[in-house]
Amino acid sequence: MSRFASAETTAETARISPATSSRLLLAIIGAASLAACAQSPVGRQKADLASTGRQVAIERPHRVAALHPRPISRVRVPSETADARPTASRGVASFYSDTETASGEKFDKNELTAAHPSLPFGTRLRVTDVSSGRAVTVRVNDRGPFVRGRVVDISPSAAEALGMVDKGITNVRLDVVR
């Protein structure tokens, strides 16, 4: 009877709680999964590809340029008819007064001048009021306008010639004269 009693006490002490057994089972499954991934041929292929990709990037950094065979700079093609006058734009014109222009010359309200955002200084523009048909030729000597929707700012004398002083702004068509 002592033999049974000692076996019974050993079984009681060797018993593992359910929480501990589930933790042990999860640890064994996790270790087996990691071991399987480390020996997987897919894992090796990914590792091989990653190392060659880095090596190619280091050896041939100019490879990206081969993806863009066309030149980045644009070549301007002359227009088919040399005597045609290109239309610069259509939009809203306003008039302004300033003390100094972007070209460096002093602003004169009595001259027929204009401010345009991109045309070269010295460009002659014919500004035509769309509603009345009145037109005036101005010289670009400043940058602007800096208000959304406006295409040109003209001097007060040019605005007077167009008859837009009372309105302040008007719809115009711009034609490059030269």
Q: What is the pLDDT of residues 58-100, one digit of tens each?
A: 554 444 444 445 555 555 555 544 444 455 589 999 988 877 8
pTM over 0.85: no
- Is the four-CA dihedral 61, 63, 67, 73 of positive or negative sign? positive
- List the structure tokens of 20: 């501990």
How confident is the model at residue 74, as a pLDDT? 53
Is the backbone peptide bond immediately before 71 cis, with ω within 30 degrees of 0?
A: no
Q: What is the DSSP letter of 106?
A: B
**CB atoms near residue 95 (< 10 Å):** 24
**Contact 125/140 with Cβ under 8 angstroms?**
yes
Q: Any idea which of 18-22, 114-118, 132-136 has the lowest mean pLDDT?
A: 18-22
Q: How confident is the model at residue 1 (pLDDT cuts 50, 70, 90)?
A: low
**Contact 177/139 with Cβ under 8 angstroms?**
no
